[in-house]
Every structure is written in structure tokens, then in C-alpha cells.
Amino acid sequence: QVQLVQSGAEVKKPGASVKFSCKASGYTFTTYYMHWVRQAPGQGLEWMGIINPSSSSITYAQKFQGRVTVTRDTSTSTVYMELSSLRSEDTAVYYCARDHGAAGGHFDYWGQGILVTVSS
């Protein structure tokens, strides 16, 4: 069965960076694109970017350009997101979500989410 297992919660100070992971299993990792979505406390869902695990081609939401880096490791079927220059507004739950197809699809499976707290 398809599973996306994300790394544990993080607490960071403003200005720091955070890197977290999403390990996929139960399917061929390189066949399906992967998205990152975040949700601030009590707020809605915000799309951050997408990676093609096969080619490592990436598209970021313009809002996060220059501050976010998404990478992947095909040997471990893991996608990583690094967010730098953290500020309090980055406090959120970060989800990875699998694209139903080769991009242009909805999100059919989601990770459990990672709470990132930015506080001095």
C-alpha cells in the first residue's frame, strides 16, 4: 500500500533553516511527482512546489522562490524540503502529497504532516 512517512516535528529560531523528509513506499517512486503543501495553524492549505523524482525537475510557488529547496534521493525513495530564513509566519504543518499522475493530477496520497514551529 502507498505510504508517505514524514520526519518528526521541528522547533527552530527565526533566521534558521529547517530540512525535513518524506519517505515513499508501496509504489515506484520515480513514476509519480511529489508536492509540498503547508497549513498554518487554523488556516487553509497552501501549495509550495512540485518535484519530478525521476528527473529532479522542480517548480516552486513564486512566494517561496529563493527560500525553499526540494531535493530527492531515489536510492531511498525520499523527498526533502529545506526552508531557509525562517520567520514566525512559517510556523505550520508541512505535508508531502503524491501527484496522481505525472503532474497535472490531484493529490491522491498525503504524508502525516510535520509541525514546524518558528519561535525565539
Partner 1 sequence: DIQMTQSPSSLSASVGDRVTITCRASQGIANYLAWYQQKPGKAPKSLIYAATSLQGGVPSKFRGSGSGTDFTLTISSLQTEDFATYYCQQYISYPYTFGQGTKLEIK
Q: State the residues that interact with partner 1 by CB under 8 A.
A: 35, 44-47, 50, 59, 61-63, 95, 97, 100, 104-113
- Measured from the CB of residue 17, what is the shortest distance to partner 1 in angstroms? 22
> What is the distance between the alpha carbons of residues 75 and 101, in angstroms, rounded to a whole number?
21
Distances 106 to 23, 34, 100 between C-alpha atoms, Å: 19, 11, 6
Nearer to partner 1, 85 or 112 (CB): 112
- Measured from the CB of residue 62, what is the shortest distance to partner 1 in angstroms? 7
Residue 54 grid coordinates: 525521476
- Measured from the CB of residue 33, what is the shortest distance to partner 1 in angstroms? 11
Nearer to partner 1, 59 or 84 (CB): 59
CB-based contacts of 2: which residues, under 8 Å, 6+ apart?
24, 25, 26, 27, 98, 108, 109
> What is the distance between the alpha carbons of residues 114 and 100, in angstroms, rounded to a whole number?
22
Nearer to partner 1, 2 or 16 (CB): 2
> What is the distance between the alpha carbons of residues 28 and 95, in angstroms, rounded to a whole number?
20
Nearer to partner 1, 12 or 100 (CB): 100
- Measured from the CB of residue 70, what is the shortest distance to partner 1 in angstroms? 14
